[in-house]
Structure formats: C-alpha cells, structure tokens
Structure 1
C-alpha cells in the first residue's frame, strides 16, 4: 500500500511554502534588522551633527576656551563630552572663490590677517546603536557615528580719520567751493547749510556699496567694486540712497546735480573692506552683515581729492595790506598707501589722510632802500594722520552695540616748512619725498643787478602726537552705527599754520638764512653786504611774520579744513562695530 501512495505524495503540493519560509526567514529577519539599524543610524547621525554644530558655534564664540565650551555644549544636549574627538583652531577666509572646506585655514597660509584664530573645527564620534547587525562584528555595514562642524566669529569695526573737526564759517564755505570746485573744474555752489548738513550726516556703508554696485552694473565681489573707478555723480546718488537722514539724502542729491560722471573717482584708494572684500555684492544686509557708517562730507571731499582734478589755486590770493599778498601756487598730494575709510578686524584695519604739500608765494612791497620783495617761496609738508584699530572688546551682554569698546591707535602727522626752491618735480602727483637737503636758496631780491639776496630756511618741524583712543563706555568717543554717527575723538598738538611760518621766517636770521651779495660796479651803501642784510632782516622778517599770522594762518587753515586737514591734529571716528555672531562655515 505504501508504494502505491508514493506517486500521489510526489504530486501533492500542500505545505510547499514552509521550506521556502525556512530558507528565506533568516534573510527576511536580517533585512528587517538592517532597516532598523540603518534608520537608527541616520536618525542618530542627524542628531549628532546638530549637537556637533551647536558645540562648534559655542566654541567659536570664545576660541581660547574652545574645548571646554564644546564639551559643555555637548553635555547640555545629552551627550557624553567624551565623544569630542578633536578641536582645531584656525582662521576664517570669507572668500566666495573658496570652498567651504577651504575657508577654514588652520595654518594661516591663505588668510594670515592679524594672526588671530577666529574659527573652530570640531569632530565628534561614537559607536552607532546596532541590534541585529552587531552580530556581524567588523563585517557590519553600519559604521560608527561621526560628525564635523566648523564655525567662525569675526569681530569687526569701521574707522575713518580726518585731521580736524570743522566749524562752518563763511570763510570755510568759500574755501570748500573754491578748492573742491577747482578740483572738479566747475563753479561749486554750496551754502553753509549744505555743508553743515553733510558734516552732520552719515551714510550706511553696506547699503551704499550695494547701491553703487547696482548703478555701475557690478555683479562680482566687493573687491571688484572697490577696484574700479566710478563717476562722481553715480557715487553721490548711491550715497543719497543710503543716507541716514532725509536732509542728508537731499543735500547729496543736490551736490550730485552739480557734478557729472565725467569726473572719475578711483575707489581703491578710498575704501578698505577687510574680510568682506571677496564676498558677493548685495549681501550687506545678510547676517553677519557690514554695519558701519560713512561721514557724508568726508565721503564727498575725499572722493573729489581721489579724482584726477588738478589743484590750481593761483587765484586764491589774500591781500592784507597794500602790496602784500599771500598766493597759493600749487598743492600736491602724496601716494595713497592706506584707505580713507576701512572696515575689518583688529590688527589689520587702518585708515589715514593723504600726505599734502602746499607751495606758497608770500609777497611784500617794502620801503627798504627802494627794494621790493616780490616773492618769498614757502613749502609746507603735512604728513598723513593715521588710525589703526588695535582691539575690539565685545561685551558679554545683550547690548553689545552699547557696551562694547574699540581701541584705536591714532597719530597726527609731522609738519615741515621750508623757504627756498624745491626740486622741479616737488609738486608732481604723487609727490616725491622731500628733505631739507633738497631745498636750494631762492633769489628773492635783485636790486638793479647790483645786489642780490638769496633766502633759504628750514622751520623746526611740528611733531605730531600719538596715543590710544577708546570708543565706547568710559572712552573718549562713542561708536557709531547706521543712523547714529557716534562721536569722534581727537589727538594732536593743536598747531596752526601761523606759528609754524613765524618760526620759519624767524630762521632767516640764521647765518645761512639770508645771503646778500654785492655785485661789481655797485654804489655805496649797496656794496656793504652786512648793512644791506641788516636792513633786509629788519624790513622783511617782521612784516612776513606778521603776514603769516594775520593772513596765511586763517587762509590756509580754512583751505586745509576743506580738505579735512588740521596741522598736527587727527580726528578719528569709529563708524561702526559688529561683535561677531558665530556662524557655520
């Protein structure tokens, strides 16, 4: 019977699934376990990455305490601080041309800057949670958990420097219109109210750059923008769109209507953008943005000086007494080696005024043996005033803008003055260096070809002053920001032109100051050189000294003020400060 049922059993298909389940069951359980472990891995990896990023942000706030702050942050997020595997300090390179990985520079090779570490990269790791796949040991396809995060904090401030705080007077208004108008080649028409509004007004730097980029069609980086030349009208209209007050915007628009884009302004000598130079334009309001202000008058005056306008002041004459004149023959500026406005971290951000050289001709009509002194050539050299941001102290409060402090090392420039003939290229642009040895005696007198008098003198230089100015609580000045200019601080010796020139003219009395030479066929008393020299000294030195104090001093002080310069003096503004909010890079 049994052998009869074998064929039927062979044809019976009942229970055929059971062997398949027996064979495939292990695979199904393995797949489910792998899916569970993989899901746990990705969830845990996401959580670890978030905790690692939070730890990097905490560490970047104070890089010097990076390890401790990262461990504390991991603990607050429920992780054992022991998962912190490494902490690396470096410097952040905000350069759009670099990858995110390259923007972290641990060697300071790409972004040496001021040599200070402002970025932190941390790595974390821990075993992943595994259930079924753990039985595979080293063959498990689920790796350990690992995360890397990099964050940076950049404390920045803006600084601008001029050489004096201007007081608007009628003389200053005339000087501004005459001097800046001469540079522009137009008849500038600004009144005292216009100038005061510009001096009291400020422009949001970031919005100004973005508006200017839009006007001139620049879509690259801020460095691309500030490397090009732009029309003065475009520059002023962009400034008006970023002005802090409607009156400032109105006045800037008024000035823009008096100038043209034919006057080209190279921007590379005006602005230093520090770490922001390689970021794309249009991001001034992004976090962390460029938040600083520009004084409206300084922006206009420095832009005019940066252009190619020739300063010809041969008509700027002050007549004080019959026949006595003060004529400004020429003005030259020095090379632009530092920007007029600068933004960036401490230790690598500085601004300066331009070095300046004035050529004067002082003329006197004197009754000394019938002698007329037509012209005494005088040169005045004014070195640049400078301001360097040395420290940015960010307060650990919610009111950083109010409580933070910025330290600036400020120095006013050395001033020299000479009587005599300078080299032919002395007034070229940019002006070459000049020393006392370069000054030759100038022929100031020739009486009927019988007696000549040559003059050469060097004044005692007016040395500048230097020191640290503090902006913020307890400091000499207040930090500005868009819409609130803050208050400036000054350093200097308060010297003026008159005393400097009086010292110079007084030095003519030295043995080599005034040289008188009788020529052949002279008639007595002109042949007596000592007698003529004595009379000349008495008749020239005192009147010239008086002329310097009563005419040259106010005339030049106003002209220098129009250019933002005061002898031996530096006025600094911290135009804004941003305490770095750590950001992931």
Structure 2
C-alpha cells in the first residue's frame, strides 16, 4: 500500500511539473517590479533627453539674441529664456557659485571676442576681450522626473552656446576744402606728382562731389596689375603708382564724365614711378576676403574721389620736401615761397577702412613752410626811420587727425542703425621764425626755431637795422569728440566735423599778436627800444593786413592735403549690424 501511495505521489508530481499552464502569469508577477522600474527609468531618461534638447535650443536662441544686443546681454538672455518657458532664470555673476534646483535655472553670460580663424576651435572665443562681438551662454537646470526619482540620482542638464555678430562700417577721415583755387590745387598736385597739372575749378568741383565704389576700384586695379582669381585683400597687398590708381578710379562705373576726364588727365600727366602700398590707403577688413566681383550684403563701400587721389599723392611723395610755385597773387605781397612735407601715416592707419568697433583711420602728419615777403613801400615811420620790407616766415605743423569706430548698433532693426565715431583733430603748432631746412622733412625729429628777420629798416637812409623776432602758437589736443551717424546720414554720406574748442581765431593773427621783436644795429643786439616803438606798430599792421588772405591760402593748402586747422571731417558711407549667428 505504501509503495502504491508513493508511486501515486510521484505520478502527480510529474504531471504538475509537466503542466505549463499559468507559468507566464507567475513569471510576469515575479518580473513586473523590475519591468516597471526599467520602464520608469526609460521614460524619465527619454524625458531628460528631450528636455536637454529643448534647453539647448533655448540657449542657442538666447546667445543669438544676446549677440544682437551687446550693450544689454544679461537682459537679452533672461528675457529670451523666460519668454520661452524656462522657469526661474537666475544669472550667475563672475565669482558666484549658484547651484540649480527644481524651478531654478542658472545661466552665465560672458561677452567677449570671437576670431573665426587663426586659432584652435577651443580658443577662438576670448572671454571679456574687447571690442565685444560674441556672447558665451551656459545653462544648468534640474530636469523634471516623473517615475524614477527614487531610482536614479538627481541629474543636472548643462548646455552652452556661443553666438557672434560682426557689425561693420565704412568710414574715412579727412577735410573738405574751404574754397577752391584751381591754381593752388594744380601747383600742389603737380609738386606731389612731379608733373604739370592743369585742371579747372570745374574739374576739381567734379572730383570733390564724386564718390567711387571702392570694390569696383580694386577690381580695376587688379586688371591693371594682371591679378586674377584673387581676393580684394590680395590686390590691396600689392603696390601701384598714382597713375594706375587714377586710371582705376576713372574706370569705375557711374562716375560723371567731368570727373572721369579729370582723373584720366591726372593719370596721363603723372610721372611718378613710386609704388604705393595699397594697404596704406585702404583697409577692407573682413570684406577683403571676398573674391573679386563679389559684394558684401547690406554694406556700401564708397570713397571720395578727391580724398582718395590726394591721399595717394601724399603716399607717393613719401616724406620728401616738395617746393611748390604759387601763381596766386595776394594784394600787398611781393612774393611767396612754399615748401610742404607729408609724413607717413602711423602704421595700420589707412585713410579709409571697413572695420568693426575699434577700427581707426588717420590722416598724415603735415608740415608747411610759407615765406611771405611784404612790401614796406619805404614807409617813413618817424624819427628818420624808414620801413623797407616786412617778411612773414610762417611754419605750420599739423599732427595726424584720428577717427575711431566706437559703436555700431541697431536698437530696433536695420533702419535704426547708429554709428558712433570718436574723432580728434590733429594738434597744431605754428611758428614765426627760422628753422633748419635739413630737418624740415624729417618727422622723426621735432623742428627747432630761432629768431629771424621780420623787417628791414633804414635809419637816416642807412639800411643797417634789422628787426628780428619769433612767435609760437600751440593748440592742444582736446578729448575726442563723439560724432553720431544715423541711417539718413549714412545714406546721404553726410560729413560731420569735430572741432578743437580752443581754436577761436586765425593762426596768423595769433602768431602776429604774440610776436616778440628786437632790433640789431650793425649786427649787434643793442637796446633800441625807442626805435622799436616807432617800427613795431607799422610792422604788425602790415602783417595783420595780409593775415586773412594768408589764412585762406593756408586753409586751401591743408584742405587739399586732407587736413584742417583745429578740425577733422568724418564720413560714414556704409554700415551694417550684420546677422547674429551661432559659431560654437
């Protein structure tokens, strides 16, 4: 019986083990907790991944927005993130450490400078380096967890983006001519170019009113220099003569016929073979990377025909002294002799530039020596004293004027563009006296001046008395003047002028009023105060009588060279805020 019972139990066990009904239910019941945990983790991980992608998209947008608002980057980032549903945005300042928490997003906003080439990718953004053109934004936040908060550690989403925008402007510094004198301009250009120039006032007016497309001008130069398949910068790295420059300007499309013929005349008359480094004349900045024939979107690059011509002529002359024969007659003046020396502009300071904030353009340093002989008419001034002749030995040095691009902004879009330029007129030094002619064209050394003969006097019919003297006038360089150009100014190519505030009277009058005179009898500096009492008033009166025409002559000479006493003219002929783009 017992054996039979055991066999029955064995059969029952075998039947139960061989029966697979409901096994899946058992296994499902045993694995359900694990499966649910894995599902919870998977769902939350997918949610975190999606949230991270959304956070990256918002950081990208915030960086782009901030790069478009460089003056208020923190507000731009916070507003962009908040408007797109990012909760509790807090900006972490330098030196702070703020940990993210539920409902609290921590961002850092770092303005800096981005250089697209010439550095490793990781080094292209330079934090806090000015002028700013890029923004680095980082974000940290705690993502939402729905099912697996007790199964996985608290994660932190971290994203970052760098966006850059490169506003640019085309600007130049120089000077308008106060008035036109064809004879003076012909003599000056002829002296600088070593040729005989004979243009009319109408020709010069046409050149003064004409603007040329700089890119079309460079295209024309490339043809003359046999350069093909190159960029604008490649052409500007070359050299050209003034004749080639004038020819290229004459061939720019859209130039008026009078200006075109005038430039062709100058090109044919120019005998100078000096090769000018074109980069000293024009700097196209990033626009120079474009291939010939390409144009930058939204940015005009135009220049004054007369300004470019005279700047090129000055560069061609180098620092050599130029003696100019003046054909213009001034009433009461017996003769005038003029010498001019033009220094090299400071390095990396072209006459015209296309650049970002921080770009600088400068004029050249200029020296003028003007000796004017004034007839005394043998005027009897009393006491047996006769005034024979009077001289005005005028020396003027104008340091370079400077214009620096300070800001380009578009507060509400392209039509609201505003360009700010800090401008300093050149320091002016004026002297009446004698200087060493050997150092006149040497700009590495400061000129020195001494007494020279101002008047020749007869004493009882004997021409033995020489009235000598000297005077000096210095105009200090005031803080830079801020000039602002809006879209209408840029479209109209408006000229704005910075003035030196303390330059209130004519240079010649200032020098004459400060003239210190002494008298030499037979070459001996004796005390002749009584004689000076008779001589000085008529001498000063004669000098003052020619002060106005001498000042006009001086203004025309300097204006033709692109400089003015106590003033600097700036033009912005094109500007764009560009587009803010992600760079990293």
* Length-normalised TM-score, structure 1: 0.70
Query: Which residue matches 2:123?
Result: 102
Query: Which residue matches 1:13?
Result: none
- Give distance in 2, aligned partners of 1:359 and 1:335: 18
Query: Which residue matches 2:112?
Result: 91
- Give distance in 2, aligned partners of 1:51 and 1:279: 34
Closer/same/farther in 2, CA of residues 391 and 518 from structure 1, 3 Å limit: same
Query: Which residue matches 1:518?
Result: 522
- Give distance in 1, aligned partners of 2:253 and 2:497: 23
Trace 1:389-428 onto structure 2 (pairs within 5 A): 389-401=405-417, 404=418, 406-428=419-441
| Residues 229, 292 of structure 2: 8 Å contact kept | no
3-state SS of 2:65 partner: helix
Query: Which residue matches 1:439?
Result: 449
Query: Which residue matches 1:381?
Result: 397
- Give distance in 2, aligned partners of 1:506 and 1:70: 62
| Residues 362, 400 of structure 2: 8 Å contact kept | yes
User: Aligned residues, how many?
Assistant: 517
Closer/same/farther in 2, CA of residues 84 and 553 from structure 1, 3 Å limit: same
Among candidates 118, 133, 151, match of residue 118 of structure 1: 133
Deviation at 1:478, TM superposition (A): 5.0
Query: Which residue matches 1:185?
Result: 194
- Give distance in 1, aligned partners of 2:233 and 2:442: 25
3-state SS of 2:166 partner: coil
| Residues 246, 264 of structure 2: 8 Å contact kept | no
Closer/same/farther in 2, CA of residues 122 and 288 from structure 1, 3 Å limit: farther
Deviation at 1:361, TM superposition (A): 1.8
- Give distance in 1, aligned partners of 2:261 and 2:142: 67
Task: Say what the alpha-carbon RMSD is for the aligned residues.
Answer: 5.1
| Residues 59, 65 of structure 1: 8 Å contact kept | yes
- Give distance in 2, aligned partners of 1:356 and 1:558: 14
1:203 partnered with 2:212: yes
Deviation at 1:198, TM superposition (A): 2.1
3-state SS of 2:569 partner: strand
3-state SS of 2:317 partner: coil
Query: Which residue matches 2:11?
Result: none
Among candidates 51, 56, 63, match of residue 56 of structure 1: 63
Trace 1:324-403 onto structure 2 (pairs within 5 A): 324-328=334-338, 330-337=339-346, 338-346=349-357, 348-365=358-375, 366-367=377-378, 372-373=388-389, 376-401=392-417
Closer/same/farther in 2, CA of residues 421 and 546 from structure 1, 3 Å limit: same
3-state SS of 2:353 partner: strand
| Residues 467, 491 of structure 1: 8 Å contact kept | no
Closer/same/farther in 2, CA of residues 272 and 515 from structure 1, 3 Å limit: farther
Closer/same/farther in 2, CA of residues 214 and 50 from structure 1, 3 Å limit: farther
Answer with 1 or 2: which has the greater Rg.
Answer: 2
Query: Which residue matches 2:382?
Result: none
Closer/same/farther in 2, CA of residues 95 and 535 from structure 1, 3 Å limit: farther
Among candidates 464, 468, 474, match of residue 455 of structure 1: 468
Deviation at 1:183, TM superposition (A): 0.7
**5+ unaligned residues in a row in structure 1: which ranges?**
1-32, 34-38, 130-135, 521-525
- Give distance in 1, aligned partners of 2:67 and 2:197: 51
Closer/same/farther in 2, CA of residues 264 and 46 from structure 1, 3 Å limit: farther
| Residues 398, 429 of structure 2: 8 Å contact kept | yes
Closer/same/farther in 2, CA of residues 478 and 353 from structure 1, 3 Å limit: farther
1:575 partnered with 2:573: yes
Among candidates 524, 548, 566, match of residue 564 of structure 2: 566
Deviation at 1:180, TM superposition (A): 0.9
| Residues 493, 569 of structure 1: 8 Å contact kept | no
Deviations 1:170-214 (A, max 9, x none): xx2222221112111122233333322222222334554566466
3-state SS of 1:304 partner: helix
- Give distance in 1, aligned partners of 2:508 and 2:302: 37
Deviation at 1:152, TM superposition (A): 0.8
Closer/same/farther in 2, CA of residues 320 and 76 from structure 1, 3 Å limit: closer
- Give distance in 1, aligned partners of 2:363 and 2:374: 34
Deviation at 1:220, TM superposition (A): 7.5
Deviations 1:306-362 (A, max 9, x none): 21264533522555468822221x11234422432234344x233333332211222
Deviation at 1:105, TM superposition (A): 1.5
Deviation at 1:305, TM superposition (A): 1.0
Deviation at 1:256, TM superposition (A): 6.1
* Length-normalised TM-score, structure 2: 0.70
Closer/same/farther in 2, CA of residues 377 and 392 from structure 1, 3 Å limit: same
Query: Which residue matches 1:297?
Result: 306
Deviation at 1:239, TM superposition (A): 4.0
Deviation at 1:91, TM superposition (A): 2.9
| Residues 237, 279 of structure 2: 8 Å contact kept | yes
Deviation at 1:453, TM superposition (A): 2.1
Closer/same/farther in 2, CA of residues 206 and 118 from structure 1, 3 Å limit: same
Closer/same/farther in 2, CA of residues 532 and 124 from structure 1, 3 Å limit: closer
Query: Which residue matches 2:536?
Result: 537
Query: Which residue matches 2:96?
Result: none
| Residues 201, 245 of structure 1: 8 Å contact kept | yes
Query: Which residue matches 1:154?
Result: 166
3-state SS of 1:190 partner: coil
